[in-house]
Amino acid sequence: MVQSAILGFPRMGVNRDLKKATEAYWGGKISQADLLAEAKRLRLAHWKIQQDAGVDVIPSNDFALYDHVLNHIQDFGAVPPRYTKDGLDLVDQYFAMGRGHQKNGIDVPSLEMVKWFDSNYHYVKPTLQNGQTFKLADEPKAVAAFNEAKEAGIKTRPVLVGPVSFLHLGKADRDQTVDPIDLLDALLPVYEQLLVKLKEAGAETVQIDEPTLVFDLPAKSKAAFKPAYEKFASLGDKIPKLVFTTYFGDIVHNLDVLPKDVYAVHVDLVRNPEQLDEVIGALGPKTILSAGVVDGRNIWKTNFKRAIETVETAVQKLGKDRVIAATSSSLLHTPHTLASEKKLDAEIADWFSFASEKAVEIATIAKAVTEGPAAVREQLEANAKSLQARASSSRTNDPKVKDRQSKVTEADYKRKSEFPTRISLQQKKLNLPLFPTTTIGSFPQTKEIRLQRNRFTKGEITEAEYDKFIEKEIEENVKIQEELDLDVFVHGEPERNDMVQFFGERLNGYTFTTHAWVQSYGSRCVRPPIIVGDISRPAPMTVKESKYAVSISKKPMKGMLTGPVTCLRWSFPRDDVHQSVQAEQLALALRDEVVDLQNAGVGVIQVDEPALREGLPLRAGKERTAYLDWAVKAFRLSTAGVEDDTQIHSHFCYSEFQDFFHAIAALDADVLSIENSKSDAKLLKVFVDEAYPRHIGPGVYDIHSPRVPSEQEIKDRIQEMLAHLKPEQLWIDPDCGLKTRQWKETKEALVNLVNAAKAFRAQYSK
Ligand X SMILES: Nc1nc2c(c(=O)[nH]1)N[C@@H](CNc1ccc(C(=O)N[C@@H](CCC(=O)N[C@@H](CCC(=O)N[C@@H](CCC(=O)O)C(=O)O)C(=O)O)C(=O)O)cc1)CN2
Q: Contact residues for ligand X (CB under 6 A)?
A: 120, 445, 450-451, 453-454, 497-501, 520-521, 524-527, 570, 739-740
Residue at shortest CB range from ligand MET: 737
Packing angle of the helix pair 447-457, 463-484 (nearest 10 deg): 160
In the complex with ligand MET, the residue whose CB is nearer, 187 or 653, is 653
DSSP 706: S
* 493 annotated as ligand-binding: yes
Angstrom distances, CA of residue 337 to CA of 332, 353, 689: 12, 8, 49
Choose the binding region for ligand MET from 71-79, 436-444, 470-478, 592-600 (rule: CB under 6 A): 436-444
Number of residues in contact with ligand MET under rule CB under 6 A: 12
* 525 annotated as ligand-binding: yes
In the complex with Zn ion, the residue whose CB is nearer, 18 or 560, is 560
The item of Zn ion, ligand MET, ligand X, none sharing an interface with residue 524, based on CB under 5 to 8 Å by kind, is ligand X
* 505 annotated as ligand-binding: no
In the complex with ligand MET, the residue whose CB is nearer, 225 or 503, is 503
- 363-402 per-residue burial string, b: 16 or more CB within 10 A, e: under 16: bbbbbbbbeeeeebeebbeebeebbeebeeeebbebeebe
| Residue among 698, 684, 708, 760 at smallest CA distance from 732 | 698
| Residue among 711, 701, 649 at smallest CA distance from 678 | 701
Q: How far is the first Cα of the chain from the last one, in angstroms, to the nearest whole number?
A: 80
Choose the binding region for ligand MET from 47-55, 124-132, 240-248, 732-740 (rule: CB under 6 A): 732-740
CA gap 232, 234 in Å, rounded: 5
Choose the binding region for Zn ion from 71-79, 310-318, 458-466, 735-743 (rule: CB under 5 A): 735-743
Question: Smallest distance, Å, CB 70 to ligand MET?
Answer: 21
CA gap 72, 64 in Å, rounded: 10
Question: Smallest distance, Å, CB 53 to ligand X?
Answer: 26
In the complex with ligand MET, the residue whose CB is nearer, 289 or 653, is 653
Question: Smallest distance, Å, CB 15 to ligand X?
Answer: 8
* 608 annotated as ligand-binding: yes
* Residues 648-677 contacting Zn ion, CB under 5 A: 653
- Is residue 736 close enough to count as binding Zn ion by CB under 5 A? yes
Question: Smallest distance, Å, CB 520 to ligand X?
Answer: 4
Q: How many CB atoms lie within 10 A of CB 20?
A: 16
CA gap 325, 5 in Å, rounded: 6
User: Which residue from 355, 478, 531, 736 is in contact with ligand MET, where contact means CB under 6 A?
Assistant: 736
Contact 540, 586 (CB under 8 A): no
* 463 annotated as ligand-binding: no
Per-residue x/- mask for ligand MET, residues 533 to 562, rule CB under 6 A?
---------------------------x--
Residue tagged active-site, from 68, 72, 649, 704: 704
Name residue 278's amino acid. Answer: E
Q: Which H or E run includes 558?
A: strand 557-562
Q: What does DSSP say about strands 127-128 and 530-536: parallel, antiparallel, or unpaired?
A: unpaired
* 442 annotated as ligand-binding: yes
In the complex with ligand X, the residue whose CB is nearer, 142 or 516, is 516
* 744 annotated as ligand-binding: no
Choose the binding region for ligand MET from 296-304, 351-359, 437-445, 687-695 (rule: CB under 6 A): 437-445
In the complex with ligand X, the residue whose CB is nearer, 157 or 649, is 649
Give 130-134 contacts, CB < 8 A, sequence gap 24+: 130/172, 130/176, 130/177, 130/178, 131/178, 132/78, 132/178, 132/183, 132/186, 133/77, 133/186, 134/76, 134/77, 134/78, 134/183, 134/186, 134/187, 134/189, 134/190
Question: Smallest distance, Å, CB 746 to ligand MET?
Answer: 12
Q: Interior CA angle at 408 toward 402 and 414, to 5°?
A: 150
Sheet architecture: strand order including 264-268: 3-5, 323-327, 288-294, 264-268, 241-245, 205-209, 156-161, 58-60
| Residue among 127, 132, 155, 148 at smallest CA distance from 58 | 155
Sheet architecture: strand order including 671-674: 489-490, 557-562, 604-608, 647-652, 671-674, 695-698
In the complex with ligand X, the residue whose CB is nearer, 627 or 654, is 654
CA gap 759, 677 in Å, rounded: 19
Question: Smallest distance, Å, CB 761 to ligand MET?
Answer: 24
In the complex with ligand X, the residue whose CB is nearer, 99 or 390, is 99
Residue 704 among the catalytic residues: yes
CA gap 28, 105 in Å, rounded: 17
Cα dihedral 17, 440, 573, 538 sign = positive
The item of Zn ion, ligand X, ligand MET, none sharing an interface with residue 594, based on CB under 5 to 8 Å by kind, is none
* Residues 35-94 contacting ligand MET, CB under 6 A: none
CA gap 110, 243 in Å, rounded: 32
User: Which residue from 56, 341, 473, 608 is in contact with ligand MET, where contact means CB under 6 A?
Assistant: 608
Choose the binding region for Zn ion from 295-303, 588-596, 610-618, 657-665 (rule: CB under 5 A): 610-618
CA gap 731, 720 in Å, rounded: 13
CA gap 54, 360 in Å, rounded: 7
Question: Smallest distance, Å, CB 541 to ligand MET?
Answer: 14
In the complex with Zn ion, the residue whose CB is nearer, 653 or 669, is 653
The item of ligand MET, ligand X, Zn ion, none sharing an interface with residue 117, based on CB under 5 to 8 Å by kind, is none
Residue at shortest CB range from ligand X: 497
* 567 annotated as ligand-binding: no
Contact 239, 195 (CB under 8 A): yes
In the complex with ligand X, the residue whose CB is nearer, 171 or 527, is 527
Using DSSP, state whether 113 is helix, strand or coil.
Answer: strand
498 CB contacts (<8 Å, ≥6 apart)? Answer: 526, 527
Per-residue x/- mask for ligand MET, residues 640 to 659, rule CB under 6 A?
-----------x-x------
The item of Zn ion, ligand MET, ligand X, none sharing an interface with residue 527, based on CB under 5 to 8 Å by kind, is ligand X
Catalytic residue set: 704
Annotated binding site for Zn(2+): 651, 653, 662, 675, 736
**Site residues, Zn ion (CB under 5 A):** 610, 653, 736
| Binding site listing | 19, 120, 440-442, 493, 524-525, 570, 608, 651, 653, 662, 675, 736
Residue ranges for the binding site for 5-methyltetrahydropteroyltri-L-glutamate? 19, 120, 524-525, 570
As annotated, the binding site for L-methionine includes 440-442, 493, 608
Q: Residues annotated as binding site for L-homocysteine?
A: 440-442, 608
Binding-site ranges for ligand MET (CB under 6 A): 440-442, 499, 560, 608, 610, 651, 653, 736-737, 739
